[in-house]
Amino acid sequence: MRPNGIALRQNFLLHHARQLGTLSGLLVLGLVLWVLTPHFLTLSNLLNVAEQATIIAIVAVGMTFVILTAGIDLSVGSVLAFAGVVMASALHAGAPLPFALLAGLVTGTVCGLVNGLLITLGRLPPFIATLGMMSVARGTALMYTGGRPISGFSENFRWLATGEVLRVPIPVIVMIGIYAIAFFVLTRTKLGRYTYAIGGNEEATHLSGVNVRFYKTVVYGLAGLFSGLAAILLTARLNSAQPIAGMMYELDAIAATVIGGTSLLGGEGNVLGTLIGALIMAVLRNGLNLLGVSSFLQQVVIGSVIIVAVLIDMALKRRGKYS
């Protein structure tokens, strides 16, 4: 029902309206922090926040694809850890930098594809398949390293996190590039259209001759690929790859996606919203740190924001439907 020309265009406007809502949420948050502390609205702090958002933001791109198909991927944090230690051990074994980076990306992608195959060929619910992968990837990472972090890398590799172009940190540039590509893929390619279609009505998509299994598997593969990419940046940032890295990142990524207006039921949403969602989470944490708010209260605030964001979103959606 979705890939119909007129419906698509109307949806497009609706999506943009929703993103504007999320964006104004981010701006209000920024305004409040600007009033409360002189340290928030400085160039160095804004770049700092953007850099802090990158890891979750990149993981959340893959999550958005998955959730658009009405699926879920709980394994992204564990896959990130596994890809990170594989890449780190390749670097320590003296592999050339591009090869090591590729090893990390391939590890992530393979884990994602296995998820996809379990879901499509194995007919497992995504929740179960990726829950299993979450444990398998984590356990493999722990076994592979004996539980110890692998740390200490060359300046060349670390440049991926410490480097800057015109004061903008490299991870931020990578993040913007990834979102531009993901936006293009979702709005302008067959893969993107089918991603929405599968989430909108999987049965109808299948009946209209789309190879649903293939595209779903690719989408989970993408989620793995983005976890691998996030692993590279996180390892460079900490100068260490930890087998216990990325714990609970799946929940942060889901939160960013949902705050950004993507429906957990699939078929509705956009990566731009997800980017704003990831930024909202980073700005919140940053602001609460700047204000010296107790770390317990921080958890309450972050949880409340997630709930309020989705409440507003749903209220707007209802209005859109009935007016």
Partner 1 sequence: MKKLLIMMLLILIALIGCQRGGDRAGGPPKIAFVMKTANNPFFIEMQKGAEQAAQRLGVNLIVQAADREVDVEKQMQIVENLIQAKVAALCVTPSGSREIVPAIDKANRAGIPVVIVDTRVDEKALSESHGKIAAFIGSDNYEGGKVAGEFLAKRLGGKGKVAVLEGIPGHETGDSRLRGFREAIKATPEIQIVASQTANWERDQGFNVFQNILQSHPDVQAVFACSDLMALGAVEAIAAAKKTGQIVVVGFDALAEARKAVEQGTMEATVAQSPATMGELAVENAYRLLKGEQIKPEITVPIKLITKENVTSQ
For binding to partner 1 (CB under 8 A), which residues are involved?
28, 31-32, 35-39, 42, 44-45, 48, 52, 55, 146-149, 151-152, 161-162, 234, 237-240, 242, 244-245, 247-248, 285-286, 289-290, 292, 294-296, 299, 312, 316, 319
List of residues 6+ apart from 113 with CB closer than 8 A = 217, 220, 221, 224
Residue whose CB is less far from partner 1, 45 or 201:
45
Closer CB to partner 1, residue 68 or residue 76?
76
Identify which of residues 98 and 292 has a Cβ nearer to partner 1 in the complex: 292
**d(Cα 305, Cα 23) in Å, to the nearest integer?**
14
Give helix 170-188 / helix 155-162 axis angle, nearest 10°.
70
Crossing angle between the packed helical segments 271-290 and 5-36, to the nearest 10 degrees: 10
- Shortest Å, Cβ 198 to partner 1: 32
Question: Which residue in the block uniquely carries the two structure tokens 């409440």?
Answer: 311
State which residue, 38 or 98, has the beta carbon closest to partner 1: 38
Segment holding 215, helix H or strand E: helix 212-238
Supply the minimum distance, in Å, between the C-beta of residue 241 and partner 1.
Answer: 10
In the complex, what is the shortest distance from the CB of residue 62 to partner 1, in angstroms, rounded to a whole number? 18
Q: Are strands 240-241 and 168-169 parallel, antiparallel or unpaired?
A: unpaired
Report the residue number, 6 or 43, with the smaller CB distance to partner 1.
43
Among residues 51 and 268, whose Cβ is nearest to partner 1?
A: 51
Distance, CA of 86 to CA of 73 (rounded, Å): 21
Residue 16 C-beta: closest distance to partner 1, Å:
16
User: Min. distance of Cβ 280 from partner 1 in angstroms?
Assistant: 14
To the nearest 5 percent, what fractions of the chain are helix, strand and coil?
Answer: 75, 0, 20
Of 3, 4, 5, 14, nearest to 269 by C-alpha is 14
Compute CA distances 216 → 38, 166, 172, 283, whole Å.
47, 39, 29, 33
In angstroms, give the least distance from the CB of 107 to partner 1. Answer: 19
Q: Whose Cβ is closer to partner 1: residue 188's or residue 318's?
A: 318
Distances (CA, A) of 223 to 66, 114, 116, 182, 220: 7, 11, 10, 12, 5
CB of 295 to partner 1, least distance (A): 5
